[in-house]
């Protein structure tokens, strides 16, 4: 049915008004929410420059000195270095991965039954000295000087028990323990190539001497071949 022209125009006007009213009802809450967002963010952030104060305080104790609770108990050598050099929290966080690399060597070393106690401690000293040298890029000049002095002092002393690590049970499984220690030394980035060669050779020679854990004929042949190669 076709409406007269006047009535059709009137209905279009009323429809347009109804549509505009509905649009206003939907848009108004959205607009109010957008206007309120900056205020909420300011309250949550603490208001501009002061917004980071609570986060900063959580990283410091009541004396204002940075603390790293996540570092405590993670590694004996790191705690020793922290006491000696007065490391900051940021330094401890950066040095911790290096200490885990050192631990990846010291664990199979402590369990290596082919070494005597003196040989084990002598190699531990070499590993610790290498770890101390590796942390150099993270130290301040005064800390580096102190670290060098401590390293020089350790190098001139007879091997001793270092840190608070508990000695692991010695492994009587000769070949796997030899391969584990040799592989750990080869992967330890704090050692030079010459140091790796010297230390791995010592590990393999210990595995082949009298009194070392038993090896199969095939295992003995493999180690002998490695010794020949390392002596070249």
Residue ranges covered by each domain of the chain? 76-161+172-230
Q: How big is the chain by its Cα radius of gyration, in Å?
A: 34
DSSP annotation string for 101-161: HHHHHHHHHHTBTTS-HHHHHHHHHHHHHHHHHHTGGGS-HHHHHHHHHHHHHHHHSPP--
pLDDT at 104: 95
Count CA atoms closer than 13 A to 50's CA, side-chain side. 5
pLDDT of 73 reads 65
* Alpha-carbon span 176 to 106, nearest angstrom: 16
Distance CA 226, CA 182 (A): 11
Quick check: 161 and 117 in contact, CB under 8 A? Answer: no
Residue reference for tokens 């608070």: 164
Name the residue among 44, 192, 191 with its Cα closest to residue 131.
191
From CA 28, how far away is CA 33, in angstroms rounded? 9
The answer to whether residues 165 and 106 touch, using CB atoms and an 8 Å cutoff, is: yes
Contact 213, 113 (CB under 8 A): yes
174 three-class SS: helix
φ, ψ at 99 (rounded to 5°)? -70, -35
Cα 194 from Cα 192, distance rounded (Å) = 5
Helix (H, G, I), strand (E, B) or coil at 73: coil
Q: Is 86 left (phi over 0), alpha (psi -120 to 50) or beta?
A: left
Q: Which two tokens stand for residue 122?
A: 């002598």
pLDDT of residue 22: 60
Q: What is the pLDDT along the chain (232 residues), one digit of tens a residue?
A: 554 555 555 656 565 566 555 655 555 555 555 454 444 444 444 444 444 444 443 344 333 444 566 666 667 888 888 889 999 988 988 998 999 999 999 999 999 999 999 999 999 999 999 999 999 999 999 999 999 999 999 888 755 554 444 444 555 588 999 999 999 999 999 999 999 999 999 999 999 999 999 999 999 999 999 999 999 9
């Amino acid at each position: 049915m076709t409406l007269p022209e006047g009535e059709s125009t009137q209905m279009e006007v009323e429809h347009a008004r109804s549509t505009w009213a509905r649009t206003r009802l939907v848009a108004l809450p959205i607009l109010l929410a957008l206007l309120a967002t900056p205020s909420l963010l300011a309250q949550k952030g603490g208001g501009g420059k002061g917004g980071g104060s609570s986060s900063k305080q959580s990283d410091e104790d009541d004396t204002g000195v940075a603390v790293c609770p996540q570092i405590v108990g993670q590694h004996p050598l790191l705690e020793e270095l922290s006491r000696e050099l007065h490391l900051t929290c940021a330094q401890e966080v950066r040095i911790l991965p290096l200490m885990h690399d050192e631990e990846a060597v010291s664990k199979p070393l402590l369990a290596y039954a082919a070494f005597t106690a003196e040989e084990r401690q002598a190699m531990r000293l070499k590993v610790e000295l290498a770890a101390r040298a590796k942390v150099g890029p993270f130290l301040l000049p005064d800390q580096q000087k102190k670290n060098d002095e401590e390293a020089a002092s350790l190098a001139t002393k007879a091997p001793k028990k270092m840190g608070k690590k508990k000695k692991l049970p010695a492994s009587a499984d000769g070949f796997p323990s030899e391969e584990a220690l040799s592989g750990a030394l080869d992967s330890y980035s704090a050692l030079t190539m010459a140091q790796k060669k010297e230390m791995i050779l010592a590990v393999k020679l210990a595995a082949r001497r009298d009194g070392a854990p038993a090896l199969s004929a095939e295992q003995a042949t493999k180690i002998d071949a490695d010794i020949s190669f390392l002596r070249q």
